[in-house]
A and B are shown apart, each in its own frame.
Chain A
Amino acid sequence: MAQVKFIKKDNVSAWLEELGQKHEVLAPRFEGDSIIFRPYDASKGFFIEREATAPPKKAIFPQSETLLKFSNIKDLENPEKVALDVKENLPDSSWVVFGGRPCDARGFTMFDRVYLNGKHVDAYYKARRENTFFITLACEKGETTCFCNWVGSGPSDPTGSDVLMVPVEGGFFLEAVSDRGASLLDSSLLEDGDSKQAEADKVKVEADKSMGEAQDLSKAPEKLLAVFDNMEHWEEMSAKCLSCGACTYLCPTCYCFNITDESDGISGTRIRSWDNCMSSMFTMEASGHNPRPTKAHRLKNRVGHKFSYYPDLHDGVISCCGCGRCIKSCPVGVDIRQLVLSAIAYEAKEAAND
């Protein structure tokens, strides 16, 4: 049986400080009017009552990270000869991400298939992934933008988490999901959790009930391909889209990047930074040709990738965790649920006309 514990609400800060002695702790807190994951600072506290504005994606996939540092070394004997000195910059600390939601932790399982389990292993991703622990808070109820239950998940889905916290009277019920999660639960601040199990189970059941009815997305992969060539459809779907990248950067499952050399004189760094398919530069080819010249092409790719191309490559798994941030934070309210459902309905409509 999984190890279960209980922590009083008042003891959480002390626990985070204790965890901070071994790891770097990331926790959400208010900044301006947004809730952002930051290195935990006891004087600034944490805020876990609502889903954070931005997910903790940067914990494993930083907005920009230095891959290597380089410098040119001149050979004084032979001025035409320049040696290149390159230093790899693999991350070596360990992190605890506290207070993300199940969708946030599950999001990284979409990354894993690409960066760990594919033909090539991404050394940078691997180093962070293996050294990052997720203490995740189960949701008591869904928001209007939440649809985790559509994509095979739920408000208390433990997938991708190491410890799942469930809010109960006076504190949190803690459940070790992984072996390494269990290692986070040996603090003297934690009490035995067996007596809280029933209460926690009830919270989970209520949370599941709070979600609206899940839509069947099993036909999405084929139907998105069926509508692929109908640009009129995609122009209509993307009419209000601004083609900014807010949805992708706030998405716990978007993993695209750009690599640039940022040099200053004879030395510099090679960095990897977030990139996104809403940007025209994303598919711009050296020839000047751009296969995705309009926002309609770009949005089609974003939806298609998550709900069709990725599932086709990865055992039917949808590359969306249903967190709803792309809907909630879209400046113009583009709703990815509508885009998927309209693709599904599209073919049905066509068939009816036959």
Chain B
Amino acid sequence: MKNLEDLKEQIRKALPELDVVIGWTDSFDPLHATPHFMRKEEDIDKLKVDALCVHNLATYLPGLKGKKVGIVVKGCDSRSVVELLQENLIKREDVTIFGFGCNGVVDQTKIRSIIGDVGNIEACELTDKEVTVTASGEVHKLALDEVLSDKCKTCRYPNAVLSDHFTGEEVATTATFEDGYKDLEEFEAKSTEEKFAYWLGEMDRCIRCYACRNACPMCVCRDHCVAQSRDPHWLSQEAHVRDKWMFQVIHAYHLTGRCTECGECQRACPVDIPILLFKKKFNKEIKEVFNYEAGLDPEATPPLLTFKNEEAKIKERDW
């Protein structure tokens, strides 16, 4: 990040009034970043912001209720913050948003499938166009475009949609809504049998760890999730693909019109199941039916979260 020092300065000024500011820092090897909880002045020195900072830190906000929290957000992450505000899951006055214009983050799965062995990363250098990775003594030059997350390639909101402090220049984009759903359209063109076979194959290796659920900023039931409730016992504890798949369908339904497509569910999956596709399907439907997109307007109510005692279209009293 070109303006990292500016961002650090903003955080430095704000930190005395806050319990914690969440950003990113170096992780176990040069190819990874990790969430960073800054509580003291010296923690700010370790802040890093670059294409390796994939994590959507908004996931932590509901768990920090009652605290004054600062959070560094990319455009997509800011939409999750907005969505949390819309649903009253966090309070605006408790959150200080440090936004910036994002040029995209890498997809570690893509890097791994190109380089192969990423077990011994010795160095990683990033430029606007390239990721240079040294692994086991071998230097790999990867075009950034080749290893960017799919969501970044069609991103329409690279800049934080809501922020208290914005760092650097805004990033321009020409992507359209349709651009982001081409993969889904390709998938939808398959026959029902093909789609079914695809999901049976992919879901079969699910280990039911629920990292997808816990990484999701909008998945706020967590400890009370239907997947593990004993009474009622909605899902069996079997390792059957039927139950694994059922959970993903429930997850997607619960997120319909709420999911901001940050992709954390898929990124968190330790066995690389492409579950974002489920969520995108439901979002596409919401756009078609309600012309609505999640996480853009803090004052809006997601279409499936409205409830009226007397729905205008149902004339119960006339029965």
Contact = CB atoms under 8 A, between A and B. Distances in A.
Interface of A: 31-34, 36, 49-51, 53-54, 62-64, 141, 143-146, 236, 239-240, 242-246, 248-250, 258, 260, 262, 271, 273-274, 276, 279-281, 295, 327-329, 331-333, 335
22 contacts: A31-B271, A32-B271, A32-B274, A50-B119, A51-B119, A53-B271, A53-B272, A62-B239, A143-B119, A144-B29, A240-B37, A242-B268, A245-B210, A246-B209, A246-B270, A249-B207, A250-B207, A262-B238, A271-B236, A279-B210, A279-B228, A280-B222
Sort A-B residue pairs by CB-CB distance and give the 4 closest, nearest first: A143-B119, A331-B268, A333-B34, A63-B239
B215 interface: yes
Residue from the set B27, B230, B237 with the largest chain A CB neighbour count within 10 Å: B237
Interface stretch (B109-117, B157-165, B250-258): B109-117
B223 interface: yes
| Listed residue (A239, A273, A328) with the most chain B CB atoms within 10 angstroms of its CB | A239
B293 to A, nearest CB: 25
A249 B270 CA distance: 10
Contact of A271 (B20, B55, B211, B238): B238
B58 interface: no
Main secondary structure, interface of A, reads loop
Nearest to A139: B119
Contact of B270 (A54, A62, A243, A274): A54
B208 interface: yes
Nearest to A258: B237
Given A239-B60, A244-B211, 15 more contacts: A32-B271, A33-B112, A50-B117, A54-B207, A64-B237, A143-B119, A239-B35, A242-B59, A242-B211, A244-B213, A246-B209, A260-B230, A279-B210, A331-B270, A333-B35
A242 B272 contact: no
B120 interface: yes
Contacts of A49: 116-117
Contacts of B214: 242-244, 331
A7 to B, nearest CB: 23
B209 A260 contact: no
A141 B207 contact: no
A331 B208 contact: no
Contacts of B271: 31-32, 34, 36, 53-54
B273 interface: yes
A293 to B, nearest CB: 9
Interface residues of B, number: 51
B150 to A, nearest CB: 14
Contacts of A332: 34-35, 55, 215
Contacts of A329: 270
A327 B237 contact: no
A33 B113 contact: yes
Nearest to B29: A144
Interface string B222-236: 110000101001001
Contacts of A331: 55, 211, 214-215, 264, 267-268, 270
A240 B35 contact: yes
B238 to A, nearest CB: 5
A274 to B, nearest CB: 7
A245 B209 contact: yes
Contacts, number: 141
A143 B268 CA distance: 21
Interface in B195-222: 202, 205, 207-211, 213-215, 222
Contacts of A236: 37, 39
B205 A34 contact: yes
Contacts of A50: 116-117, 119
Contacts of A335: 27-28
B4 to A, nearest CB: 20
B32 interface: yes
Given A260-B233, A331-B215, A63 B208 contact: yes
Interface in B244-289: 264, 267-268, 270-274
Interface in B151-177: none
Interface string B86-124: 000000000000000000000001001100110111000
Contacts of A244: 209-211, 213-215, 268
Contacts of A243: 214, 222
Given A243-B214, A333-B28, A249 B209 contact: yes
Contacts of B28: 144-145, 327-328, 333, 335
Contacts of A141: 120
Nearest to B135: A144
Contacts of A36: 205, 271
Nearest to B228: A281
Nearest to B37: A239
Nearest to A268: B236
Contacts of A51: 119
Contacts of A245: 208-211
A33 B32 CA distance: 18
Contacts of B121: 144
Nearest to B237: A273
A127 to B, nearest CB: 18
B142 to A, nearest CB: 16
A244 B55 CA distance: 15
A33 B207 contact: no
Contacts of B268: 242, 244, 246, 331
B217 to A, nearest CB: 11
Contacts of B237: 64, 258, 260, 262, 271, 273
Contacts of B27: 333, 335
Contacts of B272: 32-34, 53
Contact of B207 (A63, A144, A240): A63
A280 B223 contact: yes
A239 B67 CA distance: 13
A151 B75 CA distance: 43
A244 B202 CA distance: 20
